[in-house]
Amino acid sequence: FFLSLKLEKKTKGKLQKQICQVVLDHFEKQYTAELGDAWSSVRDVLTSPWCWQHALLLNRFSQSPGLESSLAEQGFSPAFAAALPYLPAALRCYIRTAPGRFPSQKHQPGKLKEYYLLNAASLLPVLALEVKDGEDVLDLCAAPGGKSVAILQCACPGNFHCNEYDDLRSRWLEQTIESFIPDALINLIVVSKLDGRQIGDLQPEFYDKVLVDAPCSNDRSWLFSADPQQAVLRLTQRKELSSLQFQLLSSALKALRPGGSLVYSTCTLSKAENSDVINLILSSCRNVVPVDLSEMARGVSQEFTFLSGMQQHELLVLPEKGRAWGPMYVAKLKKTSST
């Protein structure tokens, strides 16, 4: 009872977060132009935290006997029920249509957590990457670590390099890995704090698979910027993000072996940070081809709402009530030869 009371108070506190009007006005103008009629229903979800949902990614390294039956009793069911091109049996994610957040587990040194709370759409880049056992994998912008943890639920890479340039976020990444991954596997993981734009030159053609979950204008959190001045600064700097994203992608492609695959993802709806960045890479790199994601999209269409009219190598998840996942943009590329 005390736990539920505590959770209720915490939730009410979160709901009192104020929407930042300057950000909403900016989004209103931009996304009405870019998304058309779809924007109004997306806006309703993004501005209503009480209808947001959280998925549970179960940790295969820390099995809890009664957890799955307990989740079923609370209305959760397995995500990704349909046949997908890539869905390892060990990747188990539970979702429910009801909003609300499942209690998170505290970090305890020496004890592995049983599940990771996340936006279910953030697993799509991992499913698109299709990591197999023994492959050399780079997670270029890895903090806070959810996608790194998800990759390790799918397969055991030969080398797994998790990079995070920001010092504070890098410590967060290390703690996430320590909370979910056993010591025997941690020895296979390299955590670095390199500038992602330099990794391609430092480790050319070293990796089979690269994930670039790029720094972006996070639509959900930006809408609740507590400091209006910081919000104005963020919106001013927003124009520079696509340049950084392009540089990170260029570096990631250098780090990729010929025949290797790269997945690019963001948690923004912004076309400038999504399709425009990918189109620029495709038009400026001769040795890169797009990879069709439409089969994966069909397989997860029960769980997610996608923006129509996208190209076959890209997806944009639109949050809607009852399926409040996203925003999440995913694009997949393949390197055909050396530069």
User: What are the tens digits of pLDDT across the range 15-52?
Assistant: 457 899 999 999 999 999 999 999 999 999 999 999 99
The answer to whether the beta carbons of residues 12 and 6 sit under 8 Å apart is no
Which residues are known catalytic residues? Answer: 267
213 has binding-site annotation: yes
Check which CATH number belongs to the domain holding 193 and give it.
Answer: 3.40.50.150
Residue 192 is which amino acid?
Answer: S
Q: What phi and psi values does residue 288 have, to the nearest 5 degrees? A: -125, 135
Instruction: Determine, yes or no, domain membership for 210.
Output: yes
Q: Number of structural domains, the chain? A: 1
Q: CA–CA separation, 124 vs 75, rounded Å?
A: 22
Q: CA–CA separation, 291 vs 334, rounded Å?
A: 7
Name residues whose C-beta falls within 8 Å of residue 152's C-beta, 6 or more positions apart in sequence. Answer: 160, 180, 181, 185
Instruction: Determine, yes or no, domain membership for 200.
Output: yes
pTM, two decimals, is: 0.94
Name residues whose C-beta falls within 8 Å of residue 6's C-beta, 6 or more positions apart in sequence. Answer: none
Instruction: Determine, yes or no, domain membership for 91.
Output: no
143 has binding-site annotation: yes
Instruction: Determine, yes or no, domain membership for 246.
Output: yes
109 has binding-site annotation: no
Q: Is the pLDDT of residue 6 over 80?
A: no
Instruction: Determine, yes or no, domain membership for 270.
Output: yes
Name residues whose C-beta falls within 8 Å of residue 50's C-beta, 6 or more positions apart in sequence. Answer: 11, 15, 99
The pair of three-digit structure tokens given for residue 245, joined into one six-digit string: 């994203």
Per-residue pLDDT, 65: 86
Please report which confidence band the pLDDT of residue 2 belongs to, taking 50, 70 and 90 as the band edges: very low
Q: Is the pLDDT of residue 64 over 90?
A: no
The pair of three-digit structure tokens given for residue 330, joined into one six-digit string: 């995913």
Residue 238 belongs to domain spanning: 17-52+120-335
Q: Is the pLDDT of residue 129 over 50?
A: yes
Among residues of the chain, what percentage have pLDDT more than 90? 85
Q: Is the pLDDT of residue 160 over 60?
A: yes
Q: Is the pLDDT of residue 1 over 60?
A: no
Instruction: Determine, yes or no, domain membership for 3.
Output: no
What is the average per-residue pLDDT within 215-222? 94
Instruction: Determine, yes or no, domain membership for 238.
Output: yes
| Gyration radius of the chain's alpha carbons | 19
Instruction: Determine, yes or no, domain membership for 171.
Output: yes
195 has binding-site annotation: yes
pLDDT: which is higher, 8 or 137 = 137
